[in-house]
Structure 1
Amino acid sequence: MRIVIAGASGLIGTHLSATLRSAGHDVVALVRRAPASASEIRWDPAAGRLDPQALSGSDAVVNLSGAGIGDRYWTRRRIDELFTSRVDATRTLTDAMKKLENPPRTFVSQSASGYYGDSGAAVLPESAPPGTGVLPRLCLEWEAAAHEAPAGVRVLTPRTGIVLSRSGGALGRLLPLLRLGVGGPLGHGRQYWPWITLPDASAAFSFLISSRLRGPANVCAPESADVDSLVAALASALHRPAVLRVPSPVLRLVMGRLADELLLPSQRMEPALLSDAGFHWQHPSLAQAAAWVAAKK
């Protein structure tokens, strides 16, 4: 297949591109700079500029574009950037598809577990309602923009949980502390964080591209875990203690609104669509995932 990826330089995008190429697919990356090779095409999502021919002949388009959710303090300007970098980029892609006589058959456009807001210990299949707050509103607008794709395009919106990797990603700041033995749980620790390892996230996206599924898909591991369990498993695999808890008030003082939207909410997501479709995880359990993260290779 010919697969066009927007956001190919990010954590998931880099791994997914390599995974798809190793499987024999032709992968084209949309880039904001001058193309460095024939496998890159320039676009300007902020200005809504993309030559529709960039998508012509492609079997699938994967949209991973968006400014980092937890990279910076949440000012009003930053929140606006989180919205525009996702919604505008998605609409740039769907607008280009509308100009093609034969648009791509499949559009996989990233969403996030933040769709569900703070849901406590309730199990959340894809049919669960959205929560309230900035992230649920962002995900709703993001997914709605994806569904502006032309009729006949199969649209999938993966609601991806925390991606565990050996470096970088959502735990990029916590892992070095755990390796040094000075890390610990965040907040009260009883909030559920949906998680998935990077190889499984890439495999899930590949599975969705090749499937006949459509609509939202919870991309997380089948084993749920709260923050206490997640941090304890990682620390144990690294043979380090994890006793230095960061209380919720401290998180709110340091991170402001970001703490209440990203770190302290509880989302016990269930990957119902993937499970029912027969997807197989390489790291289905937290113990397996922690062992993989802790391994040097």
Structure 2
Amino acid sequence: MAIIVTGASGLLGVPLVAALRGAGERVVTLVRREPRSGDEALWRPAEGVLDPAVLDGASAVVHLAGAPIAERRWTAAYKRELVRSRVDSTRLLVRAMREAGRPPGVLVSASGVDFYGDTGDRVVDEGAPGGSGFLPELCERWEAEAAAAEEFGVRVARLRTGLALSGRGGALVRMLPVFKAGLGAPLGSGKQYWSWISEPDWVGAVRHILATPEVAGPVNMGSPTPVTNAVFTRTLGQVLRRPTMPMPVPGFALSLGLGEFAKAGLLPSHRLRPGKLLDSGYEFTHSDLADALRAVL
């Protein structure tokens, strides 16, 4: 039986597929171009194209597809793309699972820590309510489409991922030129919590979820030790052996440069507790931020 993966060419999809295949699993990736081997299958979510036979008898589906949140300014058109690429693609995937003769037993579907909105200093576990605004409401709609698979007996885990630390791309790599130039600085007040998770722990946690039947529903994907943005800034500077700026970058300056994303994606505080992972026995490889940064860089 195969594990089906969407978003397999993305930041976290690449190491996950490599780890699963390295462990002897058969992985079939869904691609938008013509498949080049038996380990690829066609889907075109914007056009509603996915053959349910692709999912028939699969052991699990890991759904990571979605347009990047932070790589473009949020024009009205791009916000529609952010919604479409998550909500519509998940709806298509779940519909195909429903129509498969033997639906997969597990759906692990991406979501984000932004589900909670700005939670300040409060420690947030998976039972906390959702927030308000574009990103929380997008996450809520995204998760609702995935949860629909529970109606026909599929175990669904919804990954509320924080800042994923990878040396191959993503937010951390975009920060590096500024920090290497000695210009890294706290953002806004610097007091907002950033819940982070190393790439190896994110991959390990997904494999743990796939193998652990009791893990279902929302799952906080962050280390047990979130830090404030000011601490993150100082720690990254220390790891890179570069000074950091004492004065923070004002929120209005971030908004001028990055538009709506700055207020919605950089300044809210998320102090996650990964309760379901810890309670089900997952052991984090990286709970210390400096160790995690050294490992991925």
TM over 0.5: yes
Which residue of structure 1 lines up, in the alignment, with residue 252 of structure 2? 249
Whole-angstrom CA distance in 2 between matches of 1:260 and 1:237: 27
Which residue of structure 1 lines up, in the alignment, with residue 28 of structure 2? 28
- Matched AA of 2:194: W
Which residue of structure 2 lines up, in the alignment, with residue 230 of structure 1? 232
Whole-angstrom CA distance in 1 between matches of 2:181 and 2:285: 27
Identity %: 46
Structure 1 position 172, deviation (Å):
2.4
Does the Cα contact within 8 Å between 2:98 and 2:152 map onto a contact in 1? Answer: no
| Structure 1 segments unaligned to the other structure (5+ residues) | none
Does the Cα contact within 8 Å between 2:11 and 2:168 map onto a contact in 1? Answer: no
For residues 136-180 of structure 1, give each alpha carbon's deviation from its aligned partner in whole angstroms, at most 9, with x where no partner exists: 000000000001214210011010001011131122211222123
Which residue of structure 2 lines up, in the alignment, with residue 94 of structure 1? 94
Which residue of structure 1 lines up, in the alignment, with residue 284 of structure 2? 281
Structure 1 position 54, deviation (Å):
0.8
Distance 1:246 1:167, change over 3 A: farther
Whole-angstrom CA distance in 1 between matches of 2:95 and 2:27: 21
Does the Cα contact within 8 Å between 2:115 and 2:136 map onto a contact in 1? Answer: yes
SS in 2 for 1:83: helix
| Structure 2 segments unaligned to the other structure (5+ residues) | none
Which residue of structure 2 lines up, in the alignment, with residue 175 of structure 1? 176
Structure 1 position 37, deviation (Å):
2.0
RMSD: 1.1
For residues 187-217 of structure 1, give each alpha carbon's deviation from its aligned partner in whole angstroms, at most 9, with x where no partner exists: 1111011100111111111111111111000
Which residue of structure 1 lines up, in the alignment, with residue 6 of structure 2? 6
Q: Does 1:15 align with 2:18?
A: no
Structure 1 position 239, deviation (Å):
0.6
Whole-angstrom CA distance in 2 between matches of 1:35 and 1:184: 45
- Matched AA of 1:250: A
Does the Cα contact within 8 Å between 1:60 and 1:106 map onto a contact in 2? Answer: yes
SS in 1 for 2:34: coil
Whole-angstrom CA distance in 2 between matches of 1:201 and 1:180: 29
SS in 2 for 1:175: helix
Whole-angstrom CA distance in 1 between matches of 2:55 and 2:100: 8
For residues 226-273 of structure 1, give each alpha carbon's deviation from its aligned partner in whole angstroms, at most 9, with x where no partner exists: 111112111101111111632211001111211110001001111000
Which residue of structure 2 lines up, in the alignment, with residue 131 of structure 1? 131
Does the Cα contact within 8 Å between 1:43 and 1:49 map onto a contact in 2? Answer: yes
Distance 1:100 1:167, change over 3 A: closer
Does the Cα contact within 8 Å between 1:162 and 1:194 map onto a contact in 2? Answer: yes
Number of matched pairs? 294
Structure 1 position 120, deviation (Å):
0.6
Does the Cα contact within 8 Å between 1:183 and 1:245 map onto a contact in 2? Answer: no
- Matched AA of 2:216: R
Structure 1 position 36, deviation (Å):
2.2
SS in 2 for 1:148: helix
Whole-angstrom CA distance in 2 between matches of 1:142 and 1:284: 29
SS in 2 for 1:62: strand
Q: Does 1:215 align with 2:217?
A: yes
Structure 1 position 184, deviation (Å):
2.0
Structure 1 position 7, deviation (Å):
0.5
Does the Cα contact within 8 Å between 1:222 and 1:285 map onto a contact in 2? Answer: no
TM-score of the superposition, structure 1-length normalised? Answer: 0.96
Does the Cα contact within 8 Å between 2:255 and 2:263 map onto a contact in 1? Answer: yes
Structure 1 position 79, deviation (Å):
0.8
* Greater than 3 Å deviation, 4+ residue runs: none
- Matched AA of 2:250: P
- Matched AA of 2:18: A
SS in 2 for 1:138: helix
Whole-angstrom CA distance in 1 between matches of 2:43 and 2:132: 33
Q: Does 1:48 align with 2:48?
A: yes
Whole-angstrom CA distance in 2 between matches of 1:55 and 1:101: 9
Whole-angstrom CA distance in 1 between matches of 2:294 and 2:99: 47
Of residues 254, 264, 275 in structure 2, which corresponds to 1:272?
A: 275
Whole-angstrom CA distance in 1 between matches of 2:158 and 2:141: 12
Whole-angstrom CA distance in 1 between matches of 2:33 and 2:135: 29
Which residue of structure 2 lines up, in the alignment, with residue 199 of structure 1? 200
Whole-angstrom CA distance in 1 between matches of 2:226 and 2:11: 22
Which residue of structure 2 lines up, in the alignment, with residue 292 of structure 1? 295
